[in-house]
Amino acid sequence: MSRLPILFVILTVGACVPRERQDAPGDSVGAAPSGRQISAKKHQLPAQQKRPKKTQLPAKPSAQPANQVPTPVTRRQPKETAPDPLLSAPFHDDFERRALGSNWRTTSGGPWRIKNGRLCGRGAKNHPVWLTRRLPANARVEFDAVALTDQGDIKAELWGDGRSAATGVSYTDATSYLTIFGGWKNSYHVLARIDEHAKTRKEIRLDQAGELVSQRPVEKDYTYRFKVERADRKTVAWLVDDIEVLRYEDSAPLLGAGHEHFGFNNWQVEVCFDNLVITPLL
């Protein structure tokens, strides 16, 4: 018998059995080996078996090489200011130079300058110039002072913090005792603590007919000699031309850190200072 019919049957049956196609993962549509297009529906999963959506993970930080030293995190530290040196011997300044120099610290710059061998200020608006030396608790401060107008207003600060200035129009937040000679348009001499407007300030209302320098208004272009002294750690005595003007006995004296500096001050009209001498007292 001939073998051809049997071979035909085998070939026919093999052609009816579909061949499985291994598509690449994730492909939905592919080509059969015979070149025919396979329907996408054959690769869709049932609704209940759909592949979950991929979650986008955050990028991992790049790994640091094992031999690399980690960069330390540095934080900016507040700058600490070294305290000014304490006066242990007499200090003198005659201002015979052009520049103010490192012995003085301004709080406003422009209004303070050396002029004809004197330290002069105008329009400082209670922004003093501070000596960069600390006063002992007991000390004597002496200096020349002159008003260049009829309004007087010669001002100094004692036992202050050496850095502060007025933060408003009224000087109610000083750190010191204030001597004001001919203040308020030459109407008062005042010795105040912290607040120059305080009810507790010591004051003298001025009289043109007064017999003593402590009673009269300030004279224009006249050079006065000031002396301010504290010898018992609590009582501030203020003299002008060796005449006591005012005295302030303080039940809570300004002592220690924040109350160790001397400075010249000014409001509006021009004044000048010279021949400063500071003497520590035992």
Q: Is residue 96 in some structural domain?
A: yes
* Chain mean pLDDT for the chain: 82
Q: Is residue 43 in some structural domain?
A: no
Q: Is residue 158 in some structural domain?
A: yes
Burial class (CB in 10 A: 0-12, 13-18, 19+), 40: exposed
Q: Is residue 236 in some structural domain?
A: yes
> What's the CA gap between 147 and 118, in Å, rounded?
12
Q: Is residue 30 in some structural domain?
A: no
Q: Are 132 and 252 in contact (CB under 8 A)?
A: no
Q: Is residue 71 in some structural domain?
A: no
Query: pLDDT over 70 for what percent of the chain?
Result: 71
pLDDT digits (tens, 9 = 90+) for 88-103: 999 999 999 999 999 9
How many domains does the chain fold into? 1
pLDDT digits (tens, 9 = 90+) for 202-254: 999 999 999 999 999 999 999 999 999 999 999 999 999 999 999 999 999 99
> What's the CA gap between 32 and 40, in Å, rounded?
12
Q: Is the pLDDT of residue 158 over 70?
A: yes
Return the closest-CA partner of residue 236 out of 162, 130, 116, 156.
156
Q: Is the pLDDT of residue 280 over 70?
A: yes
Q: Is the pLDDT of residue 277 over 90?
A: yes
Give me the pLDDT at residue 34, please.
43
Q: Is residue 99 in some structural domain?
A: yes
Give me the pLDDT at residue 22, please.
44
Q: 146 lies in which domain range?
A: 91-280
What are φ and ψ of residue 93, in 5° steps?
Answer: -150, 120
CATH of residue 200 = 2.60.120.560
Q: Is residue 28 in some structural domain?
A: no
Distance, C-alpha 74 to centroid of its chain: 21
Range 33-40 average pLDDT: 42
